[in-house]
Chain A
Amino acid sequence: MKDFLFVYRVDASTMANRSPEEMQANTQRWMDWIGSIAAQNKLGDRGNRLYPTGKVVKPNQVVTDGPYTELKESLGGYSIVKAASLDEAAELAKGCPVLEVGGNVEVREINAM
């Protein structure tokens, strides 16, 4: 088994306008999906969600506030899964709830140092 990073990207503006009921239903869909991966013994680390605010540090001491809420593909969170191949990992990503709200999952094999 190899480790793969799932990076979740989503249009942050759609996330901000949800009702509490939608948010709760969304949380449950995530739990069911992560639970499904865990039930296959393929969850490495559930990972975390990320707050939308942040800073970007660039060369020459330049630090900018990330206006990420305006981005179409804001970084929303990450997880680590275990799979035999990149294809299998991609297959696991297909059920991710982020896809239902127009987001995407980037799947990358981890090259352990």
Chain B
Amino acid sequence: MEKNELIPHLFRTEYSKITAVLCKLFGFEHIEIAEDLASDTFLSASETWSLKGLPENPVAWLYTVAKNKAKNYLRHESVFQKKVAAQLKYSAAATDHTPEIDLSDQNIQDSQLQMMFAICHPAIIAEAQIGLALRILCGFGIEEIADAFLSNKETITKRLQRAKDKLRAEQIKIEFPGPADIHKRLETVLRTLYLLFNEGYYSASHNSSIRKDLCLEAMRLTSLLLAHEATNTPAVHALLALMSFQSSRFDARVNPAGEMVLYDDQDTSLWNQELILQGEAFLHTASQGSALTKYHLEAGIAYWHTIKADTPEKWNFILQFYNHLLQMEYSPVTALNRTYALSKAQGKPAAITEALKLNLSGLHLYHVLLGELYTGIDNAKAMACFETALELAVAPADHKVIRQKMERCR
């Protein structure tokens, strides 16, 4: 890897590790110090490496510099020393009264996992949890986060600041929850990881490389949970199965011009078979035991989408998963998807009857669905539905998809 690519790459992977370890040591109230020390480390790296060339082991170099900077900081900041260092547990070896900074793989993993539980705390709203996770756990820059959320740097900075303030105000500790809380807390963590993945997968952002990174990071963080017995649960396996199946279509769903390719039009030879197999393995382990979460159901739906051929059997399975999912948790999009599956399993007339009961006429996607259902049955009605959808849709990408459907209807 060239140097000008290497630093951003390392930043993404190592910034979050250094921050997590330092923050775990200092406590959440001093997260900015941890972030500054990590950023400073990368500043030194880019200066030194451009003068002297790349060190033999860049990661080890970064860790050594980060450790030294942290120790220096602890020595020289007298205020910090009195207030914080006094509370730190000193390792016996650290005779100069600065704590050992442990950047071993194990401690990095533990710190990131504990940080994940701190960030995904029920006291913080979901949107802020995702932002914090991207910044602190994934090392995303403010600009990248703003791009993923279709927002601007200022808004994101404020949102992250508010979330950090909240974490401090609630005095949330960076630690692994106790046995009594773990189940509930894990639910929140999984929901955030699920939303983080969806943010990447369904985001309207045009930057497809950032979107892919978002999904990969969500998968990496979810995988961290497998390493601990208390968090190695069927729900985690089900979520990983879902993520694997969805990301198997990454290369097929965007064309070289960066535009979305609809499922029906995708080149299946671009589907990643390795990820599909990985998803099947996770779904298999997720199915052991009696736990049935919404991730199981969504993974089941996603599994059937890895089989392109339309059979009534396939769509009937998908319909039953949607039926079940809706009983667990209603959402307008699930209701629309269920109606689409019904049309494939039982025919368009039955689905039209059901669609008309949904009471979702404020959503452009509702009119897109109705238009699809009427196509081939009553094309004039279908066109009218697509027209309404065009009026309601805001994003240019949505307009494009609707126009494509109108073309097919003519």
Contact = CB atoms under 8 A, between A and B. Distances in A.
Interface string A23-36: 00000100110111
A65 B44 CA distance: 83
Contact of B357 (A28, A32, A34, A36): A36
Contacts of A36: 354, 357
Contacts, number: 44
Interface in A35-59: 35-36, 38-41, 43, 46
In the complex, which of the residues A28, A34, A39, A46 has the most CB atoms of chain B within 10 Å of its own CB atom? A39
A35 B316 CA distance: 13
Interface residues of A, number: 12
A43 B327 contact: yes
B327 A35 contact: yes
B326 A43 contact: yes
B320 A34 contact: no
A39 B337 CA distance: 10
Contacts of B359: 40-41
Chain B interface mostly:
helix
Contacts of B335: 38-41
A28 B313 CA distance: 13
Nearest to A46: B327
B322 A35 contact: yes
Contacts of A40: 335, 357-359
Contacts of A39: 326, 330, 334-335, 338-339, 354, 357-358
A35 B319 CA distance: 9
Contacts of B354: 36, 39
B233 interface: no
A35 B330 CA distance: 10
B270 to A, nearest CB: 33
A31 B345 CA distance: 14
Interface of B: 316, 319-320, 322-324, 326-327, 330, 334-335, 338-339, 342, 354, 357-359
Interface of A: 28, 31-32, 34-36, 38-41, 43, 46
